[in-house]
Structure 1
Amino acid sequence: MAGRHLGNRIVAVPMAVLALATIYPLMFTANVAMKSRREYILDRFSLTSSLQWDNIVKAWSSVGMARYFANSLLVVSVSVALLLLLGSMAGFALSQLRFRGSKALYLVCIAALLIPFQVIMVPLARVMADAGLIDTYPGLILAYVAQFLPFTIFLMTSYYKGIPAEIVDAARIDGNTTYGVYLRIMLPMGVPALLSVGILDTLFCWNDVLISLLMMPSAENRTLMIGVTSLRGQYSDDIPTFASGVLIAAIPVLMVYLFLQRQIADGVTAGSTKG
């Protein structure tokens, strides 16, 4: 018993250090966002003496963070909806249906996970430019779907492989078509996996910088993360305003981690024991 307590304490020390290293940058950013420019210049590491909410208001309205936030919300919502729809359909087909080339197609999806985006970014940009999709919301949405669909298919296939084939056979005996089995049986049963994968896809799309920077060159169509990076150059002499923009971008992700951490963990481990 004593050895177990000692082991727990030994593990707790590096975990506490890791937690502190994770929390401190956020707390430092929030503290800077609440300072005036003069207060920050005099002592950037001290605690703020007054809460300067005007910095956040300025970042949200004057700087254009509200527009960037709306762009990200639109693009991420549509992208995740398409990813879940296509990923769940492909996962059902690859795990429960038997057709020629299904195993090869599944291996292609897994292989796609190993290809960095930097390898395909130039051909992707040329294809999107030829199709007239550069600097458009549909273009960015398609780029997100293409980039993160293999990951979604992999996790959904792994989850659906754990569902007994007898359930699908029983549904067919009851008169369901393939689409009926998917809509009435597999889709409701896949809700836990869809929730977990949807959260992960949302975080991937929301935090993306490279794809958005490639697909959205104009300022009015920027997503939130690109808007935050652009603030660093525009407000290099007004760090509290820049910190306010960073805080606005971080709050949605922080809320997701705080309230949906169990689903995130389930999504990460969804394919670890099956398939």
Structure 2
Amino acid sequence: MRGARIGRWVVAGLMTALALATIYPLLFTANAAMKTRHEYILDRFSPATSVRWENLATAWTSAGMARYLANSFIVVTGAVLLLLLFGSMAGFALSHVRFRGSRALFLGCLAALFVPFQVIMVPLVRTMADVGLVDTYPGLILAYVAQFLPFTIFLMTTYYSGVPADLVDAARIDGNSLYGVYRRIMLPIGAPALLSVGVLDALFCWNDVLIALLMMPSAEHRTLMVGVTVLRGQYSADIPTFASGVLIAAVPVLAVYLFFQRRIADAVTAGSTKG
């Protein structure tokens, strides 16, 4: 009994230390964003004496964070919608529609999860350049779909595999086509999984730097995370302004995570169980 209690205290202590190590960089960034350059140079670890909104305003306007934020919203929204559409359709087909090669196709999607983007980035960018999609919103959206679709298909196939086949058969007997079964039965049933996977896909696309950096070379089309990396070079001597840009980029991600944290946990564990 005493050993179990000690074990719980040890686990609680380790989790508390991990939480503090995770939260501290965010608190440090927020504190640095509220300082002047002079205050930061004198003591970077001391608490800010006042809230200096002008640093956030400078990062928002002069550094172009507003434009980068709009670019990210456009790209992430388009990519997530396509990922959910194609992922849910493929998940339904691979779990309930029997056709030759369906098993091999699912294993191919599963294998694609283990291919690093660095392996395919050169042919991907060259192909996109050949068809004129580099430095365009559709090009980056399609690149995100190609990169994260295997993950979406895997989770949706796993989720839909838990739906009884009798339900699909009954809908077909009632006169529904495959598309009718997908639209009237599978989409409503898969709504919780779609929300969970959509949140994860949105976080993946939002936090991406490498794909966006390759596909969007011009300053006008930079996404928010690429803008933050560029901001580090432009304001290397003005850390409070750079910290303000990092804070602006982190707030949407934190909001999504705090609001959908249960859904994110469900999506992460979706591949381990069925039903």
For 1:245 and 1:168, locate their aligned partners in 2 and report how far apart those are by CA, in whole Å: 50
2:273 maps to what in 1? 273
Amino acid at match of 2:138: P
What is the deviation of 1:195?
Answer: 0.5
After superposition, the C-alpha distances for 1:249-274 in whole angstroms (9 at most, x for unaligned) are: 00111111111111000000111023
1:227 maps to what in 2? 227
Q: Secondary structure at the match of 1:274?
A: coil
For 1:214 and 1:62, locate their aligned partners in 2 and report how far apart those are by CA, in whole Å: 24
Q: Does 1:154 align with 2:154?
A: yes
How well do the aligned residues superpose, as a CA RMSD in angstroms?
1.0
Q: Give the count of matched residue pairs.
A: 275
After superposition, the C-alpha distances for 1:35-84 in whole angstroms (9 at most, x for unaligned) are: 01111111111111111110001101111000000000000001000000
Q: Does 1:67 align with 2:62?
A: no
5 Å-filtered alignment, 1:55-134, equals 55-134=55-134
2:185 maps to what in 1? 185
After superposition, the C-alpha distances for 1:182-234 in whole angstroms (9 at most, x for unaligned) are: 00000100001001100000000000000000000000100000000001110
Amino acid at match of 2:77: S
Greater mean deviation of Cα atoms: 76-85 or 7-16: 7-16
For 2:231 and 2:63, locate their aligned partners in 1 and report how far apart those are by CA, in whole Å: 8
TM-score, normalising length: structure 2: 0.98
TM-score, normalising length: structure 1: 0.98
For 2:254 and 2:59, locate their aligned partners in 1 and report how far apart those are by CA, in whole Å: 19
For 1:244 and 1:126, locate their aligned partners in 2 and report how far apart those are by CA, in whole Å: 35
What is the deviation of 1:2?
Answer: 4.0
Structure 1 residue runs of 4+, over 4 Å off? Answer: none
For 1:236 and 1:189, locate their aligned partners in 2 and report how far apart those are by CA, in whole Å: 50
For 1:258 and 1:76, locate their aligned partners in 2 and report how far apart those are by CA, in whole Å: 19
What is the deviation of 1:5?
Answer: 2.8
After superposition, the C-alpha distances for 1:121-163 in whole angstroms (9 at most, x for unaligned) are: 0000110000000100000000000000000000000000011
Q: Does 1:26 align with 2:26?
A: yes
Amino acid at match of 2:54: D
What is the deviation of 1:240?
Answer: 0.2
**Percent identity between the two aligned chains:** 75
For 2:7 and 2:199, locate their aligned partners in 1 and report how far apart those are by CA, in whole Å: 33
2:40 maps to what in 1? 40
For 1:8 and 1:174, locate their aligned partners in 2 and report how far apart those are by CA, in whole Å: 55
2:163 maps to what in 1? 163
For 1:252 and 1:2, locate their aligned partners in 2 and report how far apart those are by CA, in whole Å: 44
Q: Does 1:215 align with 2:205?
A: no
What is the deviation of 1:4?
Answer: 3.5
